[in-house]
Amino acid sequence: MLWRLIFVKGAGQGRVDSACMKANLWHAGWWVLSLFLSGCTSLLPSGSSVTASPFQSFAEAQAAVERLEPFRTRESELPALGFDPREGKNVTQIAYPEIVARLAPHAGVPIDSLDAGIRACIEARSACRAYLFRFDRSTRKRQGGFWLDFLNIRRVTYTTGWWFETLVVVSDGVVLFRNYAGEARMEKLERQTNPLGPFQSAGEAAGAVLRR
């Protein structure tokens, strides 16, 4: 009888030890998996987009365009200020009809109420030319865990940068009008979650077939 009690007690202790071992292995496995999925952030892809530009920032481009003085700045001075209509990059020449559509879109507005440079351009007709310059810089970085990103389970992309656009109107070798627009500080955060990970696209394709 004593032997039987000892045997039963030992068997129960073995079951407890086995259960504890399984629980420890379970927790350890989750810990390793969490570390595995959240690590290696430095391996995430990143990229940048830079439009050829003489300016390193929005502020530089803004300061340069504000140095253009209507009826005083010569067209020949534009390249030195960073706005080269012939040899520069990312510049578009605007045709006269489009210039009028941009600067005087409402036919009912009296011409006398328009900016002096716009009036001079309209009166010069086809002798008036306009140049649209656009500059931008942006950087994209992926954030979060490497393996979640690599397996296409969760991807977070953070984009920063700036863009600047200016319209310069000239006629008879003189700047008549200039205006600009842009975004000095661009920040965008994109989140994408795919519960099926690398099989998400296959699942969506199968769902589309079933819906037919």
Spatial distance between the Cα atoms of 168 and 170, rounded to a whole number of angstroms = 7
DSSP states of 115-163? -HHHHHHHHHGGGEEEEEEEEEEEEEEEES-HHHHHTTSEEEEEEEEEE
How far from the centroid of its chain's Cα atoms is residue 145's Cα? 21
**Residue 58, in any domain of the structure:** yes
Q: Evaluate whether residue 166 is within a structural domain.
A: yes
pLDDT band at 31 (very low <50, low <70, confident <90, very high): low
What band does 196 get if pLDDT is binned at 50, 70 and 90?
low
pLDDT tens digits for range 43-59: 555 655 556 678 899 99
Give the pLDDT of residue 93. 93
pLDDT at residue 70, as a whole number: 96
Which residues lie across from 130 on neighbouring strands?
94, 169
Residue 146 lies in a domain: yes
Residue 180: what pLDDT? 95
Domain assignment present for residue 97? The answer is yes
Q: Residue 161 falls within a domain, yes or no?
A: yes
The encoded tokens of residue 125 equal 């007709």
Is residue 206 domain-resident? Answer: yes
pLDDT value for 8: 47
- The whole domain housing 154 covers 52-211
- The answer to whether residue 37 sits within a structural domain is no
Q: How many domains does the chain have?
A: 1
Residue 3, in any domain of the structure: no
